[in-house]
Amino acid sequence: MSDPQIPLFVDDYSDAIRATVEALGGYKRVGAELRPELRVDAAGRWLADCCSPDRREKLDPDQLAFLRRAARAKGVHILATFEARDAGYADPVPVKVEDVRERLQREFVSAVKAVQDLAARLETSGLPSGGKL
């Protein structure tokens, strides 16, 4: 089975959601992840209805967030890009988890060093230890 063709541009929000669902494996697969309490076929039909602008069923914000995160994990940025462009923002740039971890570790080391420096200054300040002058 070949990967679905990922469009560079979509016309509207519904198209962005549909293209994202297709890139993630289709209505049945994604529908079953969003609605595990339903049979696979029913979950797929439910999701197809949610993706149709003519239907009343719509995805809730948590379900849209799930789609965005699942798509990001697969390197698919259709939905996030559409939302950013539609709101007048620059295209999103995915952040590597390793980069975030490394930055947080650097910040942690820097904070520990600052606390150690403060402790050393307190010890050498000559002030009484009760905190009163």
Top pLDDT among 125 and 52 is at 52
Q: Into how many domains does the chain fold? A: 2
Q: What does the pLDDT read at residue 129? A: 67
Residue 2 lies in a domain: no
Residue 132 lies in a domain: no
| pLDDT above 90 as % of the chain | 61
- Give the model confidence (pLDDT) of 35-86 as tens digits: 999 999 999 999 999 999 899 999 999 999 999 999 999 999 999 999 999 9
Both 77 and 120 in one domain: the answer is no
Q: What is the mean pLDDT of residues 20-39?
A: 96
Top pLDDT among 4 and 96 is at 96
Residue 6 lies in a domain: no
Q: What does the pLDDT read at residue 52? A: 92
Both 79 and 22 in one domain: the answer is yes
Both 71 and 118 in one domain: the answer is no
Residue 67 lies in a domain: yes
Residue 133 lies in a domain: no
Q: Which residues of 15-38 are buried (b: 16+ CB within 10 A; e: fewer)?
A: bbbbbbbbbbbebbebbbbbbeee
Both 68 and 99 in one domain: the answer is no
Both 73 and 123 in one domain: the answer is no
Parent domain of 47: 13-86
Q: Is the pTM of this model over 0.75?
A: no
Q: What does the pLDDT read at residue 133? A: 52
Helix axes 13-23, 78-86, angle to 10 degrees: 160
Query: Distances in Å between the alpha carbon of 131 and those of 35, 82, 117, 119, 125?
Result: 59, 57, 18, 13, 11
